[in-house]
Amino acid sequence: MERLKIAVQISGRGSNLQALIDACAEPRYPAEIALVISNIAGAQGLERATKASIQTRVIEHRDYYSRRAFDSEMTREITAAGAELICLAGFMRMLSDEFVDHWRDRLINIHPSLLPAFKGLDVQAAAIEAGVRFSGCTVHFVRREMDTGPIINQSAVPIHDDDTADTLAARILVQEHRIYPHAVRLIAEGRVTIEGERVMIDGAEAPAEALINPTPV
């Protein structure tokens, strides 16, 4: 089986990277990590990659005179590694329009809310303050505008009355670790197509039951 080669871009601890590493360790998983890039030299995720014998590259954004130059160096490294799909996993840098356009439909991200709601940062606190009953996480293809693009999959997480931003984030993170490898699998298996700005997944089935919070008595 020929496996899809992916590059993972990180800036921090790399917990979603670890979820992808664990998935790729399964013999029948249809993807493999060819390269991990970090813009932070001491990122914990680099240790995770090294432990898994995955090639790493540190490209510090402060070493480049422009965002475009920084992104061009990333493209060179990703192309040299033979990666066909880029997974952003806690990569805390805005990407240039040129980079996003170059990798269009080959660049995905995971965001800790049910997009298109609650874009940006501190989304769990925003969800609790807004009083919504569900939050969650989303894997999507990346477009020029922040936290936009065709949605591949999502997981809905109910919000509890006593939730804090931290407790909600912890439960959402568990789901992130589930849906990111699943999204990569769907792409690697050739089941994902984009029609307009909507993802269509061959053979996918939606849940039979609706989710209600609070649960009816």
Residues acting as catalytic residues: 111
Non-local CB neighbours of 216 within 8 Å, separated by 6+ positions: none
57-93 b/e (C-beta count within 10 Å ≥ 16 → b) = bebebeebeebeebbbbbeebbeebebbbbbbbbbeb
Task: Provide the pairing of β-strand 198-201 with 192-195.
Answer: antiparallel
Tokens for 102?
């170059």
| Cα 214 from Cα 217, distance rounded (Å) | 9
Angle, nearest 10°, between helix axes 165-188 and 15-24? 30
Contact present, 100 and 20 (Cβ < 8 Å): no
Classify 112 as helix, strand or coil: coil
The DSSP call for residue 62 is: G
Could you give the CA distance from residue 214 to residue 46 in angstroms, rounded to a whole number? Answer: 41
